[in-house]
Amino acid sequence: MKIVIVGGVAGGATAAARIRRLDEAAEILIFERTEYISYANCGLPYYIGGVIADPEELTLQTPEKFWNRFRIAVKTRHEVTAIHPERKTVIVKNLKTGEIFEETYDKLLLSPGARPVRPSLPGIDSSRLFTLRTVEDTLAIRRFVELEHPRSAVLAGGGYIGLELAENLRDLGLEVTIVQRPKQLLNPFDPDMAAFIHAKLRSRGIRLLLGHSVEGFREKENTMEVLLKDAASVSADLVILAIGVAPDSHLAAEAGLKQGIKGSIAVNDRMETSVPDIYAVGDVVEVEHQITGEKTLISLAGPANRQGRIAADNICGGDSRYPGSQGSSIVKLFDMTAASTGINEKTAVQLGIDYDKVILSPQSHASYYPGGKMMTMKILWEKKSLRLLGAQIVGYDGVDKRIDVLAAAMYAGLSAARLKELDLAYAPPYSSAKDPVNMAGFLIESVSAGNIRQFHWNEADALPRDGSVHLLDVRTEPEFASGHLEGFVNIPLDELREHLDQLDPAKPVRAVCQSGLRSYLACRILSQEGFSCSHLSGGYRFYQTVLEDRCAAESAWPCGVDKT
């Protein structure tokens, strides 16, 4: 059996190695149009920033190693230009020599990945404008930085790779501006959670111009002007175009393979295309979202690797199935970590899902052990079934552990309330006896059972200030004095029982504290005394972060904070 693989990065390389482990006699041939195979896309920004010093560390395998270990032939700088399913051949161009030849196959695996979106804008071909997708792109940007010594950079787009690159350029001393059409970075996050990400980047001197569209580029002496719609242009020595990627599916479309959403390749759960003996994996295919059941595109290395393995199993006569993707992802932003899995509120609303949410701010480990840091967790679930829908976490230590636990719980079909039952490892340097995931389960159970009622940050300003509702801040007096919601009266939690006579049981109570814990406790006290009480989800800290982000968006810098 002869297997031809188009594309030798995550999905293609994984499939090739798996096929060899299953079939020692198979003839396996990989065509890769770049100079490199099996490279780490997610590591590319860290080479530009010098965190990864040796460019060879970016490539997990080489053609020579692949041949020596697996007897797999890898042809780099070879581009497949056409597929002819009717005669089971592909047309290949040797990019080094210009030679064009035809190659036969018994099974064909397409893993060409995605290509950077490059809209037809004025100045798009400038030598000071780069995209970042391949090792060659990385080397070109690093070479430009070393030779030209740019002092400023503009990144058009704010996805994962773009933000990693922004961090690395900033660490090199460049003034960095991120321009993006959406009004927030990292679309998997809700705007309120993205506010914490924005605050971190601004605190490190990165300028954010959100809600602005790039209309073109213009070279001016030794700089570039980034032209914006309805806004002043931005000048920089270096421009990175990172506005997104699109499935590199033109070969499949020209060969008559069925297309999926946004020009992707449609596949079934065996990674088979609409044409017999042709498979496809990775960023080029549409997949089913495990939470929504909808078709989606997920450009992540983990799913691509798993799909490559599944395709290999089926090419070799097996029956492996891909269950879909949750879109679990994580990113480092200086000393902060942001992670998500499942869907966010925007998606839940679009799909008409009747959901609820909790926001909590636990410590990364036991509070009495030094070094604990707060994380902000947001978890969504379907009201009727208690099915977990999604989770977002922004913080420092331990974010990766909690998002992985939540992703596993979602995949296993655990109800949101059962998070409280998970038997998770505990020692003071790593967690608390009640892990943050357990705490989320306790809170979800209380909300679902009606033992606690919530209101959210976007409802706080609309509360009546006419005395018809008790507006109660249960933080300490110094906390209250440092900033509070308009119209709220301060009665510290520890003194609340002694001041119940100041509250009218006929009036509802809206309680606020710093993170939501003390206001929850206040509502438990008041509810048992006959009051109707709701507390602010996420607390004043969450409310303040979101509002400061909205204020900062107007000027691109934190309100009242010197940008230096």
Are 331 and 164 in contact by the 8 Å Cβ rule? The answer is yes
Query: In angstroms, rounded to a whole number, what is the distance separating the alpha carbons of residues 369 and 431?
Result: 10
Instruction: Measure the CA–CA gap between 318 and 23, rounded to whole angstroms.
Output: 12
The whole-angstrom separation of Cα 353 and Cα 31 is 44
Closest CA to 484 of 560, 538, 540, 536: 540
> 42, 316, 533, 551: which one is catalytic?
42
Which of 83, 79, 60, 63 lies closest to 71, judged by CA?
63
Burial call 105-130: b when 16+ CB within 10 Å, e when fewer? bebbbbbbbbbbeeeeeebeeeebbb
Distance separating alpha carbons of residues 333 and 372, to the nearest angstrom: 18
- The residue among 77, 80, 58, 60 whose CA lies nearest residue 69 is 60
Residue 440's closest CA among 332, 336, 537?
A: 537
Rounded CA separation 267/433 (Å): 45
Is residue 551 flagged as an active site residue? no
Q: What span, in angstroms and rounded, lies between the C-alpha atoms of 223 and 420? A: 56
Q: Could you list the active site residues?
A: 42
